[in-house]
Each structure stands twice: as C-alpha cells, then as structure tokens.
Amino acid sequence: MSIGTIHGVGLGPGDPDLMSVRADRLLRNASHFAHFRKAGRKGQARRIADSTLNPDAIEFAMEYPVTTEIPLSDPRYNETLSSFYTDCANHLRTLAETGKDVVVLCEGDPFFYGSFMHLHSRLRDVVPINVVPAITGMSGAWTATGQPVTWGDDVLTVLMATLPEDDLARRMGDTDALVVMKIGRNIDKVRRALATADRLDAAWLVEYAAMPNQTVTRLVEAADKITPYFSIIIVHGNGRRP
Amino acid sequence: MSIGTIHGVGLGPGDPDLMSVRADRLLRNASHFAHFRKAGRKGQARRIADSTLNPDAIEFAMEYPVTTEIPLSDPRYNETLSSFYTDCANHLRTLAETGKDVVVLCEGDPFFYGSFMHLHSRLRDVVPINVVPAITGMSGAWTATGQPVTWGDDVLTVLMATLPEDDLARRMGDTDALVVMKIGRNIDKVRRALATADRLDAAWLVEYAAMPNQTVTRLVEAADKITPYFSIIIVHGNGRRP
C-alpha cells in the first residue's frame, strides 16, 4: 500500500465558480476531506465546497477549541491551539499512512494567513503534501470595489486589524494601497487609525466578498454596521496611469 | 442588437490548471479575445490560455508600442502608452457596440498591477465590463517556495523593484513578510537594498512561478543568474504559530 497525500486546497474568496480548475477537480474526486470550523457551525470552507465535493467523500471536521474566549496574550491560548493542531495533524497523518488522500478545504489561499499552515508545519516532513494556491479574500474584495487596487509602482501594505493602533496608523500613512483584514471587534480602532493617517475618506468596506450577500460600502458611510470577522477594508493606490 | 460585455479575465500565475472555473468557462466559450504582447512575441497571456481558448475565437493582439526603449521619466513614455491604450479601448468599444462579447486575457489578477486597468479606466463608463479575479503571480511564487508567506499578525509589504534604493531598503526593514516584483534589470539594486535591510539571507527568488520551467532559489545562491522581468522575490513572515 502506498502512502496518501494531504492536499491543502485553497477555495478562493467564496464563490465556488472562483475555485481553480485544479481545486474543482480535487474536490469532485475526493474520497476524504477535512476542514476547520467553529464548534456547532457548518463552517465557511465547507459551505463554499458544498456544491462541488464528491457527495460520498468522508468528512473530518476539525472544531476549534477556542476562538475568542481566551485572550491572545494568555499562554493557554497558544497551548490549547497547539495541541489541537497536533491532534488534527496526527489524524491526517494516520489517514495518509493507511493510503488515503485527503483534501483539506482552505478558505482563501492556504499559505496566506490560513489555519492550514499549522497542519503543514506539523506534516511537511512526515507525509507528502500538495498545496493548491487560490484567489485570496483580498482579491475578491478589491474586485468587488470595481476599481484596481495597485497601479505602476504603488506600494501595497496588508495589515491585520489586531495590531496596535499607533502601528496601524503609522503604516496606513506610509503606503499607497492598503488592505486591512481580521476587522471584527477591532473596527473602531481601525477607523481611528485610518483617520489619524488621513486615509479614512478613501477606505472601502467589503463584507462577504464574492458571496451572494456581498456588500461594498464607503467606510465613512458604514458608521453603524457591525462588521463580521472576515470583512476586508481596501484603500486603492494612485500610481502611474498612462 | 444588445451591447456586448468586455470581460477582463485573470489567468493566474501561469498554469492553466490554476485558472478559475469561471475563467476556464469564459475562454472555452469565447467568440472574441484580446491580449497584450510585446511586438513580435506570442505573448505570455496567450500562451497560458492556449490549451483552453475556443480555437475558433477571433484574436485581437494589442502590441505595446514601447516597453524599455524610452525611460519612464520621459514624458513621451506616458504619451505613447496613453494613446496606445486609448486605441485599444476604442477597438474593444466598437466590438461591444456591435454586440460582441470580448474576453481580455490578463496575466495574474486584472486589478493587481495589470495592463487591463488602463482599458478598464477608459471603458468603465461606456460599455459593460466584467472583471474575473485570479490567483496572483505572488501567490504562485510563495506556494512554489513550499512555505507560508504570512502567519498571525504579520505585516505584508509588496514592493516594485523600480522604486529608489533607499525607499526599498527602508520598507524592506519595516515589514514582516515581503514580496518584490518587476525585478528584471533592477536585481542588483534589490540585492543591495535587501542587504541594507538585513533581509538578504532570508530572500527567495522564484522565476516562472507555476510554469514548467519554474525555479526556486535562495537569492544569495542565485548570484550570477539573469532574472526575467516577471520573477518574484519572497521573504517569509515569522508571526504567531501555535
């Protein structure tokens, strides 16, 4: 019996039509698949893959033990997540060692701020791994705005809203184009940082990019909206445009 | 007769298997397609699309009038390119106004440092436009390195090698993860800037990402190589990894 392969398959921003041809084929032919989700939820990756996945494929749902209950600064946060990822990796390793190929569903691009990386780091020296890149969530978001994000020699900076406010403001003021992700409960801090950097008026908020409930709003006009964790803020560059 | 649509279709980093399902379908059903190329060349976008395009589709090749013959700082550079883009846009407009849908082939993602944007800005208020996002060249490049590019709260900075050396060095030293594009004849300047920022040893050079002739090399080990214009340099982030 030959050893199986773990495929980290990027699903793109949300519309199954935006999966790559390779991802689409891997999902249609999958015998085993795995995905992360919050406890008690179906999971966003699972939802994107739903209409494409082989209906007979065997599911391994990896449920996060913590998300926001323990603060990031608490050492128990890292410890709990670390042993969770190790348990998941061990299960995938066992499947591969018994000859099974497993498709791990990944929102966006697997190597760009994803959870799959924590499986990859534990499995890369142990079993064959194949990573399929994908359209990032931020690509889906800037496409939704209907305007190019970068021109000519523009500098693009990608920031997580979880960073300290002064660091956010400094970096927002020192770039041409800007993407801010992991907004969620950090939205007020992000607004203040954008205002300090004089970029607030140019900022767009995209929620649920490339999904049926997609919204695109100027951030200043989205004053009272609650933004979900996977909303994205875009400030377009203004580089050379002949 | 109804007006046609101009589809700006991202082809991804180079492997036709990494096109989106939507792009694949648009290419297979295309009756007209357009693409940019250097004079006398087949063109990289055309090559990526070759095995997918409807063989009966009618081709409109848009040949750049200048690439590197006139320096960027010369006003004639912008003037020549500007009237070229206007001519191309007018031709596409005429096709749309006679009821034709046209697929414009775009390397990478159309709204991310692409030439399509210069058609988009001229046509957006005139004819229906549909933009299909794609896997970026940089996604192809970081996937090729076999390592995640960003973790946790990492800051990602994307720089064009055409920027001044001191600006490059300052920004390279002030980010976690780094992507440098448009390398070409700027490679020596990029090396010096990376060394000044103390990032040279961590830099990877990816040439022809996701293509059959793909190479991945530590930049310090690529000392004598001539790098093509669309090679990409990656420095991976080192953020939180439970």
Chain A residue with CA closest to B158: the answer is A156
Query: In chain A, pLDDT over 90 holds for what percent of residues?
Result: 83
B56 part of contact set with chain A, CB < 8 Å? no
In chain B, which ranges are continuous DSSP H helix?
A: 21-28, 44-49, 75-97, 116-123, 137-145, 165-172, 187-196
Which residues in chain B have Cβ-Cβ distances shorter than 8 Å to A136? 136, 139
State the angle between helix axes of A116-123 and A75-97 in degrees (0 to 180), rounded to the nearest 10. Answer: 60
| Nearest CA distance, B234 vs chain A (angstrom) | 13
pLDDT for res B78: 84
Instruction: Considering only CA atoms, give the Rg of chain B.
Output: 19
pLDDT for res B1: 72
Q: Is the pTM of this model over 0.90?
A: yes
pLDDT for res A229: 65
pLDDT for res B229: 65
> Are both B6-132 and B137-235 of the same fold?
no
pLDDT at A226 over 70: no
Q: For A50-60, what is the mean pLDDT?
A: 97
pLDDT for res B140: 98
Chain A residue with CA closest to B174: the answer is A171
Q: Which two tokens stand for residue A71?
A: 């603060």
Query: In this prediction, does ipTM exceed 0.90?
Result: yes
Considering only CB atoms, A109 lies closest to which of B20, B124, B139, namely: B139
- HEC string for A199-222: CHHHEEEEECCCCCCCEEEEHHHC
Instruction: Considering only CA atoms, give the Rg of chain A.
Output: 19
State the angle between helix axes of B187-196 and B165-172 in degrees (0 to 180), rounded to the nearest 10. Answer: 40
Domain A6-132 class? alpha beta
Q: What CA–CA distance (Å, rounded) separates A147 from B124? A: 10
pLDDT band, very low/low/confident/very high, at A150 (cuts 50, 70, 90) = very high
Are B150 and B138 in contact by the 8 Å Cβ rule? The answer is no
Residue A177: strand, helix, or coil: strand
B163 part of contact set with chain A, CB < 8 Å? yes
A and B: number of Cβ contacts within 8 A: 174
Phi, psi of A18 (to 5 degrees): -100, 5
Provide the residue ranges of all domains of chain B, joining segments of one domain with +: 6-132, 137-235
Interface test with A, best of B11, B70, B78, B155 (most A CBs within 10 A): B155
Cα distance between the two ends of chain B: 59
Query: Do B151 and A12 count as a contact with CB atoms less than 8 A apart?
Result: no
The 10s digit of each residue's pLDDT in A176-211 is: 999 999 998 899 999 999 999 999 999 999 999 999
Low-confidence ranges of chain B (pLDDT < 50): none
Which residues in chain A have Cβ-Cβ distances shorter than 8 Å to B157? 155-158, 175
Q: Which two tokens stand for residue A152?
A: 């000519």
Q: What residues 196-215 of chain B have any CB closer than 8 A to a CB of chain A?
A: 210
Which residues in chain B have Cβ-Cβ distances shorter than 8 Å to A150? 111-113, 158
> Residue A238 is which amino acid?
N
Find all residues with CB under 8 Å of B90, minimum gap 6, and list them.
Answer: none
Cα distance between the two ends of chain A: 59
Q: What CA–CA distance (Å, rounded) separates B236 from B143? A: 11
The 10s digit of each residue's pLDDT in B148-203 is: 999 999 999 999 999 999 999 999 999 999 999 999 889 999 999 999 999 999 99
Which residues in chain A have Cβ-Cβ distances shorter than 8 Å to B240? 72, 78
Considering only CB atoms, A17 lies closest to which of B21, B146, B150, namely: B21
- CATH no. for B137-235: 3.30.950.10
The 10s digit of each residue's pLDDT in A8-38 is: 999 999 999 999 999 999 999 999 999 999 8
Query: Do B160 and A147 count as a contact with CB atoms less than 8 A apart?
Result: no
Which residues in chain B have Cβ-Cβ distances shorter than 8 Å to A12? 20
Q: What CA–CA distance (Å, rounded) separates A150 from A161? A: 21
Query: Do B156 and A151 count as a contact with CB atoms less than 8 A apart?
Result: no
Are A183 and A229 in contact by the 8 Å Cβ rule? The answer is yes
pLDDT for res B93: 98
